[in-house]
Structure 1
Amino acid sequence: MVMHVRAEAPGDERGALLAFLDEQRGGIRRAVLGLTEEQARSTPSASELSLGGLVKHVAEVEQGWIARAKGEPPAVERNESNWHECFRLTGEETVASQLEYWEKVAAETEAFIRSAPSLDVTFPLPNAPWFPPDERVSLRWLLLHLIRETARHAGHADIIRESLDGRTAFELVALARNGAPGPA
């Protein structure tokens, strides 16, 4: 499963931002290469994070932000009662199903961003204690936020993967280039 976003031309801001976002997605996708479902669900570090949970989280967060920018509710509403489910696979969820979902979310993100009249278009931030009340942000802000969020979790994914089997990001890039299998 490969998601790729390309800049339309050198200097194309939308394409460049989408490419940076996809580069960070790639770090997380590569972190699950060749793992079993059990390995992807395991929590080998001091935190409760798993690679499968990270895939779920970043897909859900990206979908939620794009929905908000469109003036729609997120597909999954999170609050204190279900926040703990955001970072772990539950029920019938698998790494493969979450990667497939994330691929759809990434395509929706690209289509939405490319169809916007300008990256200066704004939308309201959600009503949350960590955001200023009645604040609006631009689509440019949204893309930068998604890059930051995804990059942060790509770093977590690097640590978790290395804790699982010692493989580093450099080794995983080489595996991905050689057509390594996705999650088992």
Structure 2
Amino acid sequence: MVTHVRAEAQGDERGALLSFLAEQRGGIRRAVLGLTEEQAAGKPSASELSLAGLLKHVAEVEQGWIARAKGEPPAVKRDESNWHECFRLTGDESVESQLAYWEKVAAETEAFVRSVPTLDDTFALPNDPWFPPDERVSMRWVVLHLIRETARHAGHADIIRESLDGASAWDLVAKEQGTSWG
């Protein structure tokens, strides 16, 4: 990603992890900056991914993992019949509503991560075939997993956005800051 994380300013491991997660969220948020709903829903590459769909997906994934870590069910239940719906906006969903939802999810993530007694606390992974049976992971693991998941999709978002209108991640950082680069 093209921004700098000042982890030392946070003063602790939790702050550093949350800062890196926020940085990756920013890459996806910037990728939809200035786009119409139609552009954000566009699929300009061989992939079926759109920026709007990535935005919805990362918000749902983050909420779901934090819910699991809390011992709660995810807000949205996905299974074989509806998993694909997390990659496209439906009904009255919009980029704006998804950004607002993700902002709420991010605040809940930060509050939860800061509230756990230790990042070494664990919870059970879901009983899904791609996870080892009876595996437990730490709170640290879940934040690192969210960083990895969000970063992966931030990279996809960079490519999709550049394919839509030529705007690079560097261009979008400058646009967000009201400056130019280069």
Q: Which band: TM-score by shorter chain?
A: over 0.9
Gaps of 5+ in 2: none
Distance 1:10 1:94, change over 3 A: closer
- Asked if the contact 1:6/1:18 (under 8 Å) is kept, the reply is no
Deviations 1:115-153 (A, max 9, x none): 110000100000111100010000000000000000000
Q: CA deviation at 1:178?
A: 1.1
TM score, norm. by length of structure 2: 0.93
Q: Which amino acid aligns with 1:68?
A: R
Number of residue-to-residue matches in the alignment: 175
Distance 1:117 1:9, change over 3 A: farther
- Asked if the contact 1:41/1:50 (under 8 Å) is kept, the reply is yes
**Counterparts of 1:70 and 1:130, CA distance in 2:** 21
Deviations 1:162-181 (A, max 9, x none): 000000000000001118xx
Q: Quote the residue 1:151 is aligned against.
A: 151
Matches of residues 52-91 of structure 1 in structure 2 within 5 Å? Answer: 52-91=52-91
**Counterparts of 1:92 and 1:133, CA distance in 2:** 38
Gaps of 5+ in 1: 180-184
Q: Quote the residue 1:20 is aligned against.
A: 20
- Three-state SS of the structure 1 residue aligned to 2:154 is helix
How high is the sequence identity, in percent, across the aligned residues? 82
Matches of residues 90-109 of structure 1 in structure 2 within 5 Å? Answer: 90-109=90-109
Q: CA deviation at 1:11?
A: 4.5
- Three-state SS of the structure 1 residue aligned to 2:39 is helix
C-alpha RMSD of the superposition: 1.5
Q: Quote the residue 2:123 is aligned against.
A: 123
Runs (4+) of structure 1 moved beyond 4 Å? 5-11
